[in-house]
Structure 1
Amino acid sequence: MNRRLRRALLCLFACAPVLAGAADNGAAARLNRQLRIAEQRYGTVGQSVEIARDGKPLFQATRGVRDLDSAKPIEDDDVFQVFSIAKLFASTLVMQLAENGRIDLDRPASDYLSDLPPVWKAISVRQFLNHTSGVAEYYSPAQMNGTARFPASLQAALDYAAAQPMQFASGSRSRYTQTNYVVLLHLLETQYGRPYPQIVRERILARLGLRHTYLGRVDPPARAAVPAYLGKDGRAQPMPAVAWPDYALGHSSLYMSRGDLSAFLRAVAAGKLVSKSALLKFWRPMTLPDGERGEFLTGWESGDSGRYRNVGHDGGTVVRARILFGASLDRDVYTVVYLTNGSAHNVWSRTLVDDLLGALSPRRFPAQALSERVAGFALTAQDATRTEAFAAALRADRSLDDAQRERALDNTAAALRESRGLEAALRVFALNTRLYTRSAKGWQRLADALQANGDADAAQAARQRQNALSDTQD
């Protein structure tokens, strides 16, 4: 029996999603379908999902296999490498220090770390948390691919990064940089006088009873972690391992089961690690000097999902954790855990979560539901008649205003360009100009995509439309 057939048979009997809690049958059917779509559209190897509302699970599911060689189905308690979700532990621990008055996030980190490189003396703790510090990375591509060693110690890593040019003036912009979380790990170890893994065990794992969470390079003793895959040429291939040093545990080398990660998110949302009132302050939206919205709020990636705000983090492109809430954390709070071990097309984890939210409740999450519809349209063969019919259906859908719909289409095109290529994205850019013929930005995005696709004449025509509209609007 070939491997593909064996995998299909195994999934038929062992990979079906399981309904839990109070999700209605219609929502369950939509969620189940969405997991199948993710597997078919993006080539996800394995998926493990939990959605909870107000601390109670609504939906739990597994689908696919833990590795391509054995084709063994994913199980509920499988342990995944969750990559940069490790940062949520570090940021939560720093929030605890701030809530207890032990540190002030807006004071320079050097006030608490006497050995911080002098060139970073004025950078605040909050700027390290929010990736607005401007510091350089502490490693090189050669260290990532294993052809060179990482700096031998935490201090050596900081000294190496400090010797590089700053990326920008601290506080002026945002750029995701792992060095920030090496500094925060150092801050936590200095404040508590204990190694970082011990701090995590005492202040998070033991408090919450998390028994399937591991820090470090050693595989979990109870069961080896699910292997991770990276898409290349439309195929899932084993992801190269990075031998991160121990001082990198604040930003990497974290392994968790779905149940443990969900329990952590639900505990955070319930105020069990940091009070709800403090969280609302820590997660208050901020604007950068250039007018752009701050992407990170006290270390938690932020955004909007329909009428909800969301905070959380991704782990590479393969996993995501998210908390969604409205004006308060007292009711109508969702937590979402979406674990995969990779995909053939390196689909963004945020795309998978957004598609799932749109399936859960198209009314609550209309932009996410629209994005899924548009992606399905873009990935199937179209002619002029079908395209116009689809555009007409979108015009008739009043769940979003024009600005929201145009933004959703742009986001969908960007995600498709990364995962499925330029041709699919072009269909969405063209659809946008069909819907919004007087949007100069829409024509600009189409022109840029056509140029990237090598269609110079069409790109020039789109650029002329853009320029004409810009002149009129000026």
Structure 2
Amino acid sequence: MKILITSVFFSLLLNASLFSGQAARNTSDSIDIFIKSKMEQLRIPGLQLGIIRNGKLEKITSYGFANIEHHAVTQNQTVFSINSMTKAFVGVAILQLQEQGKLKTDDPISKYLNDIPEKWKTITIKQLLSNTSGLPNNIDEKEQVLGDGTEEKNWEMVRKLPMESIPGSRFSYNQTGYYILGTIITQLSGKHFTKFIEENQFKRCQMLITQFGDSNDIIENSAGAYSTIINKDGKWINDRNLHNVFVNFPIFFRTATGILSSAEDISKWLIALQDGKLFQSEKSLKELFTTVKLNDGSIGGFNKLTNGYALGWPTVVRSEHPAAAPVGGMRSALFVYPEDRLSVIVLTNLQGANPEWFIDEIAGYYIPDMKIENGFGLSPNMKLLYHQTTQDGFQNIEKAYQKIKKKQKNFTASEDEINAWGYQFMGRNLKDKALQIFKFNTILFPNSSNVYDSYGEILDVLGHKKEAIVSYKKSLLLNPANTNAANYLKDNE
């Protein structure tokens, strides 16, 4: 079922229900305004926000509609599927077992499993948790579980697949490893992994509405699930329309994705985790959040933001305000800023919302130097360019660059840095400024296919179809293998 929402109706929807589920402490109107703007921009039907500062719940607020069809308003008791954020709970469970002396994260999985291929035997528990195992994936290109949802068939099929890489050599997001972790938890705890997690995390933290489940389960106050992302021939495409989403997570697969929760319940869990109520030792919490290094000493992650991976927890590795940052289903995320004693939780019912890309901005309301307008997230050189461009005007970005270059002969700004800067402005809905940035990148790097691809994208977003076609043609000329450019030209020429 496809649901189309006009911008006028969506705005009314938000205005009517913005504070409907609100039970906030020290509510910040500026944050509420920011969230409302993001929901309108990204067309997010429903959202929950939780903010923890100095070990206390600072703000808990619900926005929009949990279910569009029934006009069900999002409330603080509404539960959302948190998808792969589930893996963070698995990381905690494994370290709880380590504290009990039942395993070590450096143990090879062959110590606990007999029916595995020879090449799997050296893989460690830590490599499973950090997605560096090199194992084949037990889902297909459309993210459907192999074997028609049957555990025995799934296990039989995945064991016959070739390894993706040498264990520890590279990061590759993998669900098979989490199936194995569930098996190990069940074996060593003497109870099913779902029960172990429920008893040692949900109940201990008084998470009264958190549970395992999927679309087949009857779950009280469950939010709907929507998406602007569809899978076409194995590729994820954003068609900018809202669609209903129904998910099936077999019980054996629920270590990878399977928990439904609320921002308030997750806040209880995070406070307990950092207050030492889930671990016996601070060493366990440190290990949980420590980014795992690859064999060559480098790190790997999803992208330039969540660029590392710890024990079930994606990480944001950077010099300023690093974070442990579980993300789930392209719809929900939480960032823990250990150095700042701040955590931000955003749960939504829209696949494609990707709140990890704006959580830093929410944190900026509490930590001023994290504000994007102050240049947060940019390298020192890019901060110089940003401030000079702000002063001179974005239409004069090339002159600003040359002005800095004249003062500092060694000044450089890479193609990727400028491109990321442009997308940052797109994310803030400052499209005209993003246009100037992407255009400048084509001047600075005229032989790069990627910069013309990005320039074409912003031109298309702004409705300049003819100019976008020219840019995509240039991108394809520079790189005939650029399928994104080829597909755009196919659909628009």
**TM-score after normalising by structure 1:** 0.77
Paired AA for residue 355 in structure 2: S
SS class of match (1:307): coil
Paired AA for residue 319 in structure 1: S
The Cα shift of 1:448 comes to: 5.2
Q: Is 1:211 aligned to residue 219 of structure 2?
A: no
Q: Which residue of 1 aligns with 2:172?
A: 175
SS class of match (1:171): coil
Distance 1:419 1:98, change over 3 A: farther
Match of 2:287 among 281, 286, 301: 281
Alignment deviations for residues 341-372 of structure 1 (CA, whole Å, 9 cap, x no partner): 116xx232211312322344332455897579
Work out the percentage of aligned pairs sharing the same amino acid: 20
Match of 1:255 among 260, 263, 268: 260
The Cα shift of 1:131 comes to: 0.4
Cα distance in structure 2, aligned partners of 1:460 and 1:139: 32
5 Å-filtered alignment, 1:16-31, equals 16=19, 18=22, 20-21=24-25, 28-31=28-31
Distance 1:412 1:92, change over 3 A: farther
Q: Is 1:321 aligned to residue 331 of structure 2?
A: no
Q: Which residue of 2 aligns with 1:129?
A: 129
The Cα shift of 1:88 comes to: 1.2
Match of 2:346 among 317, 320, 338: 338
Q: Which residue of 1 aligns with 2:243?
A: 237
Q: Which residue of 1 aligns with 2:396?
A: 388
CA contact 1:270–1:276 (8 Å) conserved in 2: no
Cα distance in structure 2, aligned partners of 1:292 and 1:312: 19
5 Å-filtered alignment, 1:66-465, equals 66-141=66-141, 144=144, 149-153=147-151, 155-217=152-214, 223-231=220-228, 232-239=238-245, 241-274=246-279, 275-290=281-296, 292-294=298-300, 295-304=308-317, 307-326=320-339, 332-342=340-350, 346-366=352-372, 387-388=395-396, 410-411=419-420, 413=422, 427-431=436-440, 445-447=450-452, 449=454, 454=469, 455=471
Paired AA for residue 110 in structure 1: S
Cα distance in structure 2, aligned partners of 1:448 and 1:93: 44
Cα distance in structure 1, aligned partners of 2:99 and 2:172: 26
Cα distance in structure 1, aligned partners of 2:19 and 2:72: 14
CA contact 1:306–1:364 (8 Å) conserved in 2: no
Decide which moves more: 34-43 or 125-134: 34-43
CA contact 1:214–1:220 (8 Å) conserved in 2: no
The Cα shift of 1:445 comes to: 4.5
Aligned residues: 426
Any gaps of 5 or more consecutive residues in structure 2? Answer: 229-237, 301-307, 383-391, 405-410, 458-467, 480-493
Distance 1:159 1:167, change over 3 A: same
Q: Which residue of 2 aligns with 1:378?
A: none
Alignment deviations for residues 375-413 of structure 1 (CA, whole Å, 9 cap, x no partner): xxxxxxxxx9653379969x99xxxxx889987754454
Cα distance in structure 1, aligned partners of 2:214 and 2:260: 9
RMSD over aligned Cα, in angstroms? 4.0
Distance 1:15 1:451, change over 3 A: closer
Alignment deviations for residues 161-197 of structure 1 (CA, whole Å, 9 cap, x no partner): 1211111111000000111100100010010121122
The Cα shift of 1:266 comes to: 1.9
The Cα shift of 1:236 comes to: 1.8
Distance 1:226 1:415, change over 3 A: farther
SS class of match (1:136): coil
Decide which moves more: 359-368 or 104-113: 359-368
Q: Which residue of 2 aligns with 1:379?
A: none
CA contact 2:39–2:45 (8 Å) conserved in 1: yes
The Cα shift of 1:235 comes to: 2.1
The Cα shift of 1:292 comes to: 3.3
Match of 1:15 among 12, 15, 18: 18
CA contact 2:334–2:345 (8 Å) conserved in 1: yes
Cα distance in structure 2, aligned partners of 1:405 and 1:19: 45
Alignment deviations for residues 309-338 of structure 1 (CA, whole Å, 9 cap, x no partner): 211311111000221112xxxxx4112110
Cα distance in structure 2, aligned partners of 1:333 and 1:174: 28
Cα distance in structure 2, aligned partners of 1:228 and 1:414: 26
CA contact 1:108–1:122 (8 Å) conserved in 2: yes
The Cα shift of 1:151 comes to: 4.9
Q: Which residue of 1 aligns with 2:491?
A: none
Distance 1:368 1:202, change over 3 A: farther
Distance 1:243 1:459, change over 3 A: closer
Cα distance in structure 1, aligned partners of 2:171 and 2:298: 9
SS class of match (1:36): helix
Alignment deviations for residues 105-127 of structure 1 (CA, whole Å, 9 cap, x no partner): 11211112233344311111111
CA contact 2:18–2:36 (8 Å) conserved in 1: no
CA contact 2:369–2:376 (8 Å) conserved in 1: no
The Cα shift of 1:34 comes to: 1.3
Question: Whose relative contact order is higher, 1 or 2, with alpha carbons under 8 Å and at least 6 apart?
Answer: 1
Alignment deviations for residues 136-157 of structure 1 (CA, whole Å, 9 cap, x no partner): 111324772x9x852522x432
Paired AA for residue 308 in structure 1: H
SS class of match (2:350): coil
Cα distance in structure 2, aligned partners of 1:416 and 1:134: 36
SS class of match (2:358): helix
Cα distance in structure 2, aligned partners of 1:195 and 1:288: 31
Distance 1:348 1:199, change over 3 A: same
SS class of match (2:162): coil
Decide which moves more: 100-109 or 408-417: 408-417
SS class of match (1:61): strand
Distance 1:415 1:173, change over 3 A: farther
Distance 1:7 1:281, change over 3 A: closer
Paired AA for residue 17 in structure 2: A
Distance 1:308 1:403, change over 3 A: farther
Any gaps of 5 or more consecutive residues in structure 1? Answer: 327-331, 375-383, 397-401, 464-474
